[in-house]
Amino acid sequence: MGALRDTLDLRILDMLQHDALLTADALAQRLPLSASAIARRIRRLRDSGAITGDVAVLSEEIGPFLSAVVQVQMDRHALAAVEALRRRLGASPHVQLFLDVSGAFDLLLLVTVRDMAAFNEFADTMLGSDPVVRRYETSFVKRRRKFSLALPLDIDAG
Amino acid sequence: MGALRDTLDLRILDMLQHDALLTADALAQRLPLSASAIARRIRRLRDSGAITGDVAVLSEEIGPFLSAVVQVQMDRHALAAVEALRRRLGASPHVQLFLDVSGAFDLLLLVTVRDMAAFNEFADTMLGSDPVVRRYETSFVKRRRKFSLALPLDIDAG
DNA sequence: GTTGAAACTTAGTTTCC
DNA sequence: GGAAACTAAGTTTCAAC
């Protein structure tokens, strides 16, 4: 997927990962390239997979929501059972972030639910009842200060 | 911001937070509503702030990248210094996730950089040299299994 | 092979009912 | 809210480099 040809592609990606509604016309005012060339590049970046998709970001105020960071330590015995747990976690709409991490814990989750009752329900059914889960620790999110998918693009280094 | 009027708004939001490029026409095929009514609702949801923005999601393969979860314990003495640290962290393009959390640590960060050298540079300049930071613990991300901004919308409950 | 301008097509917006 | 007219943005074509 070597679809990034030059620093202009990087600059286009960087602007779109902050605002995907920018038109090719608007981008053309900030880049030394015509709108039609920019539109072509955006299409190529999408088709090549450099842009995997576009998502609408919703306000937390449509909530209320309760979020928690859950660190999970697993037993490694049954590989199939581990895979099953992973599938369930990845498929849950309540799991926003799901990472394999190094250190004392194996998994780190960001779980978002409606309220504490829903969190307990989640923890009990997804984690507490699973024999693969040795233990887990929960930190509740007091405030979400930044939550961005934007990757840091070193524009110079292109 | 009571812009959500019914379950149709929720269903529109849920589809757009997974694919913001869906056209009103495409949504109309899945919802009992005409394309023009859907387009009107989408505009209203954007204007009211229920949709705060739209972002392009980039492939990790444009990297390579190194990500780490950093948990930070702070000294609470100098409030102004705490605020300054928060501003710097929030403004950094390397900080994708920045949460205030309950428990033994105060802050949880997801930091994404180019490589280990860049991570050390980040940790030294942003955390190691800051008197507000009492200590921090780093877990490196071995695998990113899910990273989504999508909020769980209970469609029924509208 | 990529650019920029113009023709063309598609999607969003506005008007009217 | 729905349908049609209108406007704006994306796509394709084509000549030039």
Q: Is B141 strand, coil or helix?
A: strand
Residue-level pLDDT at A4: 82
Window 37-66 of A: residues touching B by CB (8 A cutoff) are 49-63, 65
Instruction: Assign A10 a pLDDT band (cuts: 50, 70, 90).
Output: very high
Between CA A24 and CA B116 the distance in angstroms is 36
Residue-level pLDDT at A77: 73
Instruction: Assign A58 a pLDDT band (cuts: 50, 70, 90).
Output: very high
In CATH, the number for domain A7-56 is 1.10.10.10
What Å value separates CA B14 and C1' C14? 26
Mark yes or no for CB contact A62/B152 under 8 Å: no
Residue-level pLDDT at B39: 98
What is the token pair recorded at A91?
A: 């498929």
- By CB neighbour count within 10 A (0-12 exposed, 13-18 middle, 19+ buried), where does A50 fall? buried
Kindly report the CATH class assigned to B60-140. Answer: alpha beta
Proximity of residue A39 CB to strand D below 7 A: yes
Residue-level pLDDT at A158: 47
DSSP state of B59: P
CB B79 within 8 A of CB B124: no
Spans of all domains in chain A: 7-56, 60-140
Window 81-120 of A: residues touching B by CB (8 A cutoff) are 86, 89-90, 93-103, 105, 108, 110, 112-114
SS (H, E, C) chain A: CCCCCCHHHHHHHHHHCCCCCCCHHHHHCCCCCCHHHHHHHHHHHHHHCCEEEEEEEECHHHCCCEEEEEEEEECCCCHHHHHHHHHHHHHCCCEEEEEEECCCCCEEEEEEECCHHHHHHHHHHHHHCCCCEEEEEEEEEEEEEEECCCCCCCCCCC
**Residue A141: its chain B contacts at CB < 8 A?**
99-101
Residue A16 touches chain B, beta carbons under 8 Å:
yes
pLDDT in tens, A130-144: 999 999 999 999 999
Residue-level pLDDT at B34: 98
CB B83 within 8 A of CB B91: no
pLDDT in tens, B39-63: 999 999 999 999 999 999 999 999 8
Digitized pLDDT (tens) for each residue of chain B, 158 residues in all: 677 889 999 999 999 999 999 999 999 999 999 999 999 999 999 999 999 999 999 999 998 999 999 999 999 878 999 999 999 999 999 999 999 999 999 999 999 999 999 999 999 999 999 999 999 999 999 999 999 999 999 987 54
Between CA A117 and CA A64 the distance in angstroms is 13
CB B113 within 8 A of CB B65: yes
What is the token pair recorded at B120?
A: 């050390």
Region for residue A55 given its phi and psi (left: phi exceeds 0; alpha: psi -120 to 50; beta: otherwise): beta
Region for residue A82 given its phi and psi (left: phi exceeds 0; alpha: psi -120 to 50; beta: otherwise): alpha
Residue-level pLDDT at A76: 80
Instruction: Assign A157 a pLDDT band (cuts: 50, 70, 90).
Output: low
CB B67 within 8 A of CB B111: yes
Q: Is B118 strand, coil or helix?
A: helix
pLDDT in tens, A102-132: 999 999 999 999 999 999 999 999 999 999 9
Mark yes or no for CB contact B57/A52 under 8 Å: yes
Residue-level pLDDT at A63: 87
Is the per-residue pLDDT at A153 higher than 90?
yes
Residue-level pLDDT at B5: 81
